[in-house]
């Protein structure tokens, strides 16, 4: 696992955007997976600016979404679906046929998860997965205690995830469960780019990077991933001891 520490959020976001662009430049057919949340907002903004300036070509790549809220219509502001399409795919010219996201409105969760797993296998696995980290150490909706062997699955969400999740919506929205790629798929991605910024993440970043590898801190599994890159700003890295 590599660590990179940046002075501030803008330089962290710029480096993360560069890594996505470089991945697609080297492999135009790259299979990508994107998270939502506050952390990657700057990365996506810079990715769009840089992609336009460099005339980057995303027409051959394929994109997965990391997770989705169960029971929230996809067009609603705040879903992973709506955020990724509006803030990333449309501005980059990525077409609907190049994207596979969880359907949070499915009435057959097992079938939905099987479809996701099958699609990832068909595409030959994920080349670059961009993720954030929850205050409880989750990646996607892999909450503390999740088996590292799981593929796509549904998950009851923890209090802290529900509380921060509510901020993504522009009106109170009932949420209880999520659909997520599993830690097996995070661990199998050729590169996992984990982003963290702000002092609020300093404690969990220290546990995830320097504490024991344990299901209680799902992001700690990245310590054993040779292709993991953790990009942090100084505030998020403040409690690291090494």
Name the residues annotated as catalytic: 67, 136, 138, 143
Which pair of structure tokens corresponds to residue 28?
A: 């135009």
Nearer of residues 94 and 208 to ligand PGA, judged by Cβ: 208
State the first-to-last Cα distance of the chain, in angstroms, to the nearest integer: 14
Which of 149, 156, 153, 214 is closest to 188 using CA atoms?
Answer: 149
134 contributes a contact to ligand PGA by CB under 6 A: yes
Stretch that binds ligand PGA, among 85-93, 127-135, 171-179, 219-227 (CB under 6 A): 127-135
21-to-16, 32, 162, 167 alpha-carbon distances in Å = 9, 11, 32, 29
* Of 2, 38, 110, 147, the one binding ligand PGA by CB under 6 A: 38
Instruction: Find out whether 131 and 194 touch, Cβ atoms under 8 Å.
Output: yes
Is 181 a binding residue for ligand PGA by CB under 6 A? The answer is: no
Q: Which of 9, 30, 37, 157 binds ligand PGA (CB under 6 A)?
A: 37
Tell me: does residue 182 bind ligand PGA (CB under 6 A).
no
The 146-175 contact track toward ligand PGA, x by CB under 6 A, reads ------------------x-----------
The label of the residue with tokens 């199998």 reads 188
Q: Does 132 bind ligand PGA (CB under 6 A)?
A: yes
- Contact region with ligand PGA (CB under 6 A), list: 34-42, 47-55, 57-65, 85-93: 34-42
Per DSSP (E only), the strands in the chain are 2-6, 31-34, 62-65, 67-69, 99-100, 128-131, 153-156, 177-180, 191-196, 228-233
Instruction: Please list, residue by residue across 116-131, b when 16 or more beta carbons sit within 10 angstroms of its beta carbon and e when fewer do.
Output: bbeebeebeebbbbbb
Q: In this complex, which beta carbon is closest to ligand PGA, that of residue 13 or of residue 191? A: 13
Q: In this complex, which beta carbon is closest to ligand PGA, that of residue 107 or of residue 159?
A: 159
Looking at beta carbons, which residue is closest to ligand PGA? 37
From 13, 23, 39, 155, residue interacting with ligand PGA (rule: CB under 6 A) = 39
What is the C-alpha to C-alpha distance for residues 88 and 41, in angstroms, rounded to an integer?
A: 9
Query: Which residues contact ligand PGA (rule: CB under 6 A)?
Result: 37-39, 132-134, 138, 164
């Amino acid at each position: 696992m590599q660590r990179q520490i940046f002075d501030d959020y803008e330089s962290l976001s710029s480096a993360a955007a560069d890594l996505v662009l470089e991945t697609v430049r080297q492999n135009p057919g790259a299979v990508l997976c994107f998270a939502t949340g506050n952390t990657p907002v700057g990365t996506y903004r810079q990715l769009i600016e840089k992609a336009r300036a460099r005339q980057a070509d995303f027409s051959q790549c394929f994109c997965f979404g990391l997770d989705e809220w169960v029971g929230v219509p996809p067009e609603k502001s705040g879903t992973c679906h709506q955020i990724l399409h509006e803030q990333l795919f449309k501005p980059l010219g990525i077409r609907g046929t190049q994207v596979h996201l969880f359907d949070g409105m499915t009435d057959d969760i097992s079938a939905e998860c099987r479809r996701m797993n099958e699609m990832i296998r068909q595409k030959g696995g994920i080349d670059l997965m961009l993720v954030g980290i929850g205050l409880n150490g989750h990646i996607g909706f892999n909450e503390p205690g999740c088996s590292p062997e799981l593929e796509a699955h549904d998950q009851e969400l923890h209090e802290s995830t529900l509380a921060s999740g509510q901020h993504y919506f522009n009106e109170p929205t009932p949420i209880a469960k999520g659909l997520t790629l599993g830690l097996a798929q995070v661990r199998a991605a050729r590169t996992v780019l984990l982003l963290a910024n702000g002092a609020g993440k300093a404690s969990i970043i220290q546990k995830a990077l320097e504490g024991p590898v344990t299901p209680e801190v799902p992001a700690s599994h990245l310590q054993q991933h040779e292709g993991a890159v953790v990009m942090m700003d100084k505030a998020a890295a403040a409690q690291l001891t090494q």
